Chain A
Amino acid sequence: MTRRVRRGVLTAHVTFAVGWLGAVAAFLVLAIAGLTSEDAMMVRVAYLAMKLITWFVILPFSFAAPLTGLVMALGTRWGLLRHYWILIKFLITIFSTVVLVIHLQPISMAAGVAAVRTLPRTDLGLQVQLAVAPAGALLLFLVNTTLAIYKPQGMTRYGRRKQRERLSA
């Protein structure tokens, strides 16, 4: 990968990853509003907006971020499995994407109810879940961002072996 292509892919990766973080933060604000607001119209609008953000921003970014990260890792000497910080970032991202996909149905369900009528107050389980999940995701994304900036040292056994092979060549 040429330096220009590498920086282009890195730009895309950072854009998608940080954009994902921002969109989840916005989703969390809406989820808290939906959970705590006394205004029925505000609650309905919040869940409708959550669905829009999810399908048009969060979901595409959740695939674009790991894909561009994968291109970056495999297209450079960093690799995917050679450095712990990269491996952990990737695992966190995959886990976050899986959890998001699992929550697509409840998000759409809440929006579907909100589109036709006022949400009931008694069954708050789903609404609490839709607030807790993005809060957890934000913590994971902060971990990922920290790892990306600090790049703590530590090579895997595979990485050390590949490095020895390269140095002895």
Chain B
Amino acid sequence: MPDLPPENGDDTGAPRWVKVFGIIAVFLVLLFFGLHLTGNSPGGHGSPMDHGSPRS
């Protein structure tokens, strides 16, 4: 692993991979909070496990 960053900078804006990453991240964050707010999150932060039939 190199110890120092490359010297050649890039004067253009954010590279494509950052933009794609950002779009995916925003989508996932919106999906995550959307599911939680609508009560459809996987499992959800459950209630205390003090009811129901025990396993055999």
- Specify which of B9, B15, B18, B42 is in contact with A160 (CB 8 Å cutoff): B9
* Interface residues in B, total, Cβ within 8 A: 30
Residue of chain B at shortest CB distance from A162: B9
The dominant DSSP class at the B interface is loop
Are B5 and A82 within 8 A (Cβ)?
Answer: yes
Q: Does A115 contact B (CB under 8 A)?
A: no
- Partner of A118 from the list B21, B45, B47, B55 (CB cut-off 8 Å) is B55
Residues of chain A contacted by B21 (CB below 8 angstroms): 88
Nearest CB of chain A from residue B1's CB, rounded to whole Å? 7
* Interface residue total, chain A, C-beta cutoff 8 A: 44
- Tell me the bound Cα distance from A165 to B48 in angstroms: 57
Residue pairs across A and B with Cβ atoms less than 8 A apart, 5 shown, are A77-B4, A110-B49, A119-B54, A122-B52, A129-B43
- Residues of chain B touching chain A, judged by Cβ–Cβ distance below 8 Å, are 1, 3-7, 9-11, 14-15, 17-18, 21, 41-56
